[in-house]
Structure 1
């Protein structure tokens, strides 16, 4: 068989090869393909290809996958269908066979392709690892955590964690030097807050009494902890 079938990542068979296998005129096979695509409501132009005939004139052909090829020849007789099925088996066997380079240039090209594949796999792994680390962190935490417990969960010193949060607009210190959450983190669902009370000594007429005062404590939600875990897994340390 002197016709070269197109080989790509998605295997196809040309209308010219189908015509040769089925002992049909190429023009008639193209017409049958166009009729088939119209009936199953598929745009035939998606399968169009170009080749050059014996006179070096540009001609059109169609490149069909296995399903469309079998659908096309199902209207032909059993002998022709059998030829097509056998040819597809040959193509699939060729595609599954290992590629053995025959020349130095082919060997270098294969090595370069394999190196590129490894680089892409490493890039995907680099994206997945922080997410996996984040999931491990979340598995060890339950509910919303305060700043100290969040730092402990992330494996960061509390002082460094607080400084990082202030520098990156997660928290700020109020006029009483207490940590408060930034409102944008509440809107993002990364943080929440809860009311807390504390006592302070107050001198009244020479007598020390303790007054109860109220404030809020910033908390990091599971969503916020997930985000932080990914961030810290990427940077590996607090800035």
Structure 2
């Protein structure tokens, strides 16, 4: 049984992968945000904030990650880089827990590598979809923990941030495209009919920097849209 907790910093992950630490740190923060990490108790989510001193003797921020979060992060890296990190993790576990025998280490390394490799295609598809095809409105809202996508869209229409066309399609305000949150679709695009009649797709940036960032505010807006001026439910 493993008795000592093992962690890995973003600085060490950067060294193992050859990536710039600022990029690894940004990747880690993005992963944490996507799993709902920007909440009140970060320690319960497998990471903690810390600092390190660079060669110029200046302090910079870093993150300390647990096993689950470390492996989630490196799922987005290529096989060679993942292998380096997993291998280092096994070494750390062996030091922290001497009973972790060499044969068990090899078997665990192979098993973990297989699991990470198996997860990679799904992760890559998620990233590809966000960068190229985009997410449908309902899919993006689901990923962002938006409770009522259709009601939220109705609120946006009422606020002038979206509109219904004469053909019954839904368009979002041009500001959202300017900010990189959506990709617009033409009414003739065959995707529109499968997209709930919406003339837009949500980008990866739109998912993380708009919907997820404002999910709580949006859910509140939808809740209050369903009450009258005295706070009574509208039926």
**Fold shared by both chains (TM-score > 0.5):** no
Structure with greater strand percent: 1
Larger radius of gyration: 1
Query: TM-score, structure 1 length as denominator?
Result: 0.36
